[in-house]
């Protein structure tokens, strides 16, 4: 039979051992927590760089950074779609058609990989459709009839999953599609206006939505509504000399406003 202070010592040792096990668990858990925070910070930093990028070289640099990350950490859908996005932006600014096609293909490939890993990724459907559509624009409508269906299917899937991504991007893209297609291939001014109005509703401060809606109203001969949308566009793109993309939108809006001018003159 144990006498004296020994049971007390045993109890103290037991408590010390329990504390030790708790610290070992926390030390094992800490690197995983830290890794998750680092990954999130890395994505936020890349997103910030992407939003601030303006030139071909800047987008190429971002693509290379993401490529290196995926070489070290393959199978990451959140990086795959970001790489697809970067290839899209590189393709838009590339000088030759071969280079554009190459990067649009890489965009489609990377967004498809992201969807293999995460089938309900709205942003991956969006970029896959967008790059397919851009390839279709390059090749001409008669050469890209087979792209219309897959483009529409992917963009509708993105719209169902998250209509607000990329400032109402799925609605904007579908609105532009229905505006540009001839009616016998599914084009419709009414469908175009509906989707572009939805894009404006979801993201009223995104200039491209207002330009698209103005163009759709113009196609309907709804000149008053077109003018209102253009005035909003011009307000949103005031003092944008340092932003090439917004400057292009503003220039297109000004050109359309000139076409509208005769309709607002006194007889």
The pTM (predicted TM-score) of the whole model is 0.80
pLDDT attached to residue 38? 43
**In-domain check, residue 27:** no
pLDDT attached to residue 30? 45
Segments forming the whole domain that contains residue 106:
56-147
Q: 26 to each of 14, 18, 19, how far by Cα in Å?
A: 19, 13, 11
**In-domain check, residue 138:** yes
pLDDT attached to residue 142? 53
pLDDT attached to residue 240? 80
pLDDT attached to residue 34? 42
Taking a C-beta distance cutoff of 8 angstroms, is the pair 38, 45 a contact?
A: no
Sign of CA dihedral 220, 224, 230, 232: negative
pLDDT attached to residue 5? 53
pLDDT attached to residue 40? 52
Q: For residues 182 and 267, state if they share a domain.
A: yes
Q: For residues 206 and 248, state if they share a domain.
A: yes
Q: For residues 122 and 78, state if they share a domain.
A: yes
CATH code of 73's domain: 1.25.40.10
Q: For residues 143 and 167, state if they share a domain.
A: no
Q: For residues 125 and 170, state if they share a domain.
A: no
Residue that terminates a domain, selected from 122, 147, 172: 147
Q: How many domains does the chain have?
A: 2
> Hey, is 160 helix, strand or coil?
helix
Other CB atoms within a 10 A radius of the CB of residue 67 amount to: 15
**In-domain check, residue 16:** no
pLDDT attached to residue 147? 85
Other CB atoms within a 10 A radius of the CB of residue 70 amount to: 17
Residues of the chain with pLDDT under 50: 1-3, 6, 20, 23-38, 265-267
Q: 267 to each of 223, 261, 262, 263, how far by Cα in Å?
A: 16, 12, 9, 9
First to last CA, the chain: 116
């Amino acid at each position: 039979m144990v006498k004296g202070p020994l049971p007390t010592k045993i109890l103290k040792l037991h408590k010390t051992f329990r504390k030790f096990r708790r610290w070992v668990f926390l030390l094992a858990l800490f690197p995983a927590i830290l890794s998750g925070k680092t990954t999130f910070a890395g994505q936020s930093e890349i997103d910030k760089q992407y939003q601030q990028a303006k030139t071909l070289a800047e987008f190429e640099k971002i693509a290379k950074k993401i490529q290196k990350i995926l070489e070290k950490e393959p199978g990451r859908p959140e990086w795959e779609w970001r790489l697809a996005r970067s290839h899209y932006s590189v393709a838009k600014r590339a000088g030759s058609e071969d280079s554009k096609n190459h990067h649009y293909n890489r965009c489609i490939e990377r967004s498809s990989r992201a969807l293999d890993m995460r089938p309900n990724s709205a942003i991956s459907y969006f970029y896959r459709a967008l790059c397919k559509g851009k390839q279709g624009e390059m090749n001409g409508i008669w050469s890209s009839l087979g792209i219309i269906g897959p483009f529409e299917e992917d963009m509708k899937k993105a719209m169902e999953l998250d209509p607000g991504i990329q400032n109402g991007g799925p609605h904007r893209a579908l609105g532009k599609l229905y505006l540009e297609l001839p009616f016998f291939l599914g084009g419709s001014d009414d469908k175009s206006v509906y989707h572009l109005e939805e894009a404006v509703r979801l993201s009223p401060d995104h200039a491209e939505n207002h330009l698209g809606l103005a163009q759709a109203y113009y196609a309907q001969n709804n000149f008053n509504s077109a003018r209102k949308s253009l005035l909003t566009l011009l307000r949103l793109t005031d003092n944008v000399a340092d932003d090439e993309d917004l400057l292009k939108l503003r220039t297109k809006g000004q050109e359309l406003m000139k076409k509208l001018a005769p309709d607002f003159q006194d007889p």
